Amino acid sequence: MKKFEGNILFLDRSDINTDEIIPARYLTEIEKTALKPHLLEDLKLDGFDPKKDIEAASMIVTRANFGCGSSREHAPWALEINGIHAVVAVSFARIFRQNMFNCGMAAIELPEDEINTIFNLFSKDQTRMTVHIEKSEMILESKHQTRTTNFRISDFDRALIQTGGWVGYADQHY
Amino acid sequence: MGKTIAEKIFETHRVDKPFGDVDVLRLDRVFCHEITTPTAIEDLVARGKDRVFDPDKIKVVIDHVSPAKDSKTALQGKILRDWARRHGIQDFFDIGRNGVCHALFPEKGFVRPGFTIIMGDSHTCTHGSFGAFAAGVGTTDLEVGILKGVCAFKAPQTHRIDITGTLRKGVFAKDIILKLIQELTVNGATNRVIEFRGKIVDEMGMDQRMTLCNMAVEAGATCGICLPDRTTVDYLWEFIKDEYPDKETALKAFSAFASDADADYADTKTLDVSDLEPLATYGYKPDNVKPVSEMRGTRIDQVYIGSCTNGRLEDLRIAAKVLEGHTISPHVRGIVSPATPKIYSQAMAEGILKIFMDAGFCVTNPTCGACLGMSNGVLAPGEVAASTTNRNFNGRMGRGGMVHLMSPATAAASAITGEISNSCLFTENQGAGK
Ligand code: SF4
């Protein structure tokens, strides 16, 4: 099972699409490692610098409809190759969300109020997050505060994370 | 309580229900192209599972970058080609026979009402226009589809949209779907199936229904779906005539999948399109939509007519009607990509390609390249395109470029004037000023 802990990268915008996560010009790469330097390269967001902000991050917290657009699994792969295994958002586009769990990663939905609270309390500070998939619980810690939040995850999604993804699961069952 | 078409397809294809809200479905078709499939193939090889569940149900095309533009895209094509050969996949379409996947596969008769289809491409929802459940998936789902012939989906929630009224001249399926995306927003139909109903849909040919279903994903939908009817049967007849004694029998068989009158919908909506005028997008999201009449003065550098949304014969016919007798603005580069070889040669036979060329358009081979900024028409930073494609994301057609989505008629008219403009097909019936 993948590790789900580390520093959070806050992306304060809704509808971040897969072209922004990894532009089409890198879809000719067969090796996932080649995607590493290009994660979020085309995302224009005040105060966000992909060159330095991604390095330290292992988690993303963002707004609604993350991962909309193209079906490219290069988007989760570009996250994975940068050590980012979990994205927490108000909502996800269906294909992106499924791709995350299919790769044994986590796309966790929280109510909008809770995401707002997390942004308000933590986005200014360096914040660490630990996600416990079994307990459906995540803990956020900054130098000023700690917050524990529960989330919902379906049994199927949890099973995918535990088996390391859909290929492993399907191979065992079908 | 009756059932929706999506529910009926799920019921007839369910092989497992491992958890309450998840159905594992048997797949009738797995479609593949060279951008998302090679990584699946490589992974299967690495896992020692280089097998396919059924070579006859897998259909393969090289379409996104064709001809290959560099060594990397040549390698993607080669991996796909070698794989199709070693597994005896007969329906593999290489350059010369290839076309944009979502135009080519229906044209070859690979889609049938009641089918389940996946592809590593978000616009796979296009095939729902035949009354199939067709969904875009990522590479892992594709990989399992290739290996096992199954895919997992959440039970379908259906949003029924009744499209009613009388469409004005010069207003097309593209305008309707842009309007709907504007109303639903880019995630208004996430995890849902959009069922397109109503008189306007009934009157549409398959080309327009494909345009409609193609962009369902821009509202977040898993699939757009139209009920199979006589139009569907007519389109498919050349492929199914040995299976059914006559069209009526085929229609009866397909109608078994149609939604029941008392089906339970998650949501319903009526869209009266009587007042609809041609629309275009203006920002970086497909739900940023406004009337073309409010976009006067938006200067453009390139016009692109093609793609899985609007590169079919009817689209080219309409654009040619607008272009006939005109030349495009000297500062505009016009590019038209007929979506398949069949469309290309029909357009040639009908004199459509000549109209495009006389107007100053470049006619490319069937390919997607420009639509996602990979080849055959990439924008430079700061350039603006009027395009019949389906996505206007920042950088979609080239880094720093702006894309305005619109119908083929509007794109053709814009090519002539050099700025986003309504077509004569619309204005001639509306009086001046529109
Ligand atoms: S035409 Fe564009 S949207 Fe359609 S399949 Fe090709 S790249 Fe994708």
| pLDDT (tens digit per residue) in B204-226 | 999 999 999 999 999 999 999 99
| Whether B299 and B248 share a structural domain | no
For residue B96, the 8-state DSSP code is T
| Whether B150 and B89 share a structural domain | yes
| pLDDT (tens digit per residue) in A29-66 | 888 999 999 999 999 999 899 988 999 999 999 999 99
| Whether B247 and B284 share a structural domain | no
Q: Which residues of B fall within a CB distance of 8 Å from A20?
A: 393-395
Residue B433 has pLDDT above 60, yes or no: no
Residue B144 has pLDDT above 50, yes or no: yes
Q: Which residues of A fall within a CB distance of 8 Å from B122?
A: 69-71, 95
Establish if B425 belongs to a structural domain: no
| Whether B262 and B286 share a structural domain | no
Choose the final residue of a domain: B254, B271, B288.
B271
| Whether B289 and B228 share a structural domain | no
Contact A170 B391 (CB under 8 A): no
Q: Which residues of B fall within a CB distance of 8 Å from A44?
A: 394
Range of the domain at B354: 280-417
The confidence score (pLDDT) of residue B101 equals 98
Asked if B214 contacts B390 with a C-beta cutoff of 8 angstroms, the reply is yes
Establish if B434 belongs to a structural domain: no
Any atom of ligand 1 within 6 Å of the Cβ of B182 = no
The confidence score (pLDDT) of residue A1 equals 87
Report the alpha-carbon distance of residue B310 to residue B326 in Å, rounded: 21
Distance of CA A149 to the CA centre of its chain: 17
Q: What percent of chain A has pLDDT over 70?
A: 100
Q: What is the CA(B159)–ligand 1 centre distance, in A? A: 25
The confidence score (pLDDT) of residue B434 equals 41
Element (H, E) at B378: none
Establish if B361 belongs to a structural domain: yes
The confidence score (pLDDT) of residue B32 equals 98
Any atom of ligand 1 within 6 Å of the Cβ of B390 = yes
Establish if B149 belongs to a structural domain: yes
Domains of chain A: 3-164 (3.20.19.10)
Name residue, tokens 């095309």.
Answer: B61
Residue B313 has pLDDT above 90, yes or no: yes
Q: Which residues of B fall within a CB distance of 8 Å from A89?
A: none
| Whether B31 and B154 share a structural domain | yes
**Atom 4, ligand 1: residue with shortest CA distance:** B308
Q: What angle do the packed helices B341-349 and B313-323 form, to 10 degrees?
A: 40
The confidence score (pLDDT) of residue B1 equals 86
The confidence score (pLDDT) of residue B432 equals 46
| pLDDT (tens digit per residue) in B358-414 | 999 999 999 999 999 999 999 999 999 999 999 999 999 999 999 999 999 999 999
| Whether B324 and B194 share a structural domain | no
**Atom 5, ligand 1: residue with shortest CA distance:** B308
Establish if B429 belongs to a structural domain: no
Distance from CA of B253 to the nearest CA of A (A): 30
| Whether B262 and B311 share a structural domain | no
Give me the residues paired with residue B225 across strands: B195
Establish if B428 belongs to a structural domain: no
Contact B144 A167 (CB under 8 A): yes
Closest CA to B83 of B72, B92, B74: B92
Closest CA to B341 of B106, B98, B90, B91: B98
**Token pair of B212, please?**
């409609």
Distance from CA of A161 to the nearest CA of B (A): 14
The confidence score (pLDDT) of residue B200 equals 98
Contact A91 B141 (CB under 8 A): no
**Token pair of B183, please?**
């109303």
Q: What percent of chain B has pLDDT over 90?
A: 97
Any atom of ligand 1 within 6 Å of the Cβ of B76 = no
CATH code for the domain in which residue B313 is found: 3.30.499.10
Residue A144 has pLDDT above 60, yes or no: yes
Any atom of ligand 1 within 6 Å of the Cβ of B305 = no
Closest CA to B377 of B353, B390, B361: B361
The confidence score (pLDDT) of residue B431 equals 58
Residue B279 has pLDDT above 90, yes or no: yes
Establish if B424 belongs to a structural domain: no
| Whether B261 and B302 share a structural domain | no
* Domain total in chain B: 2
Stretch A106-126: mean pLDDT: 97
**Mean pLDDT for all residues in chain B:** 97
The confidence score (pLDDT) of residue B61 equals 98
Vertex B344 angle, CA B232 and B406, to 5°: 70
| Whether B292 and B330 share a structural domain | yes
ipTM beyond 0.90? yes
| Whether B261 and B389 share a structural domain | no
Report the alpha-carbon distance of residue B44 to residue B142 in Å, rounded: 11
Stretch B158-179: mean pLDDT: 98
| Whether B297 and B261 share a structural domain | no
Establish if B188 belongs to a structural domain: yes
Contact A65 B190 (CB under 8 A): yes
Distance of CA B328 to the CA centre of its chain: 27
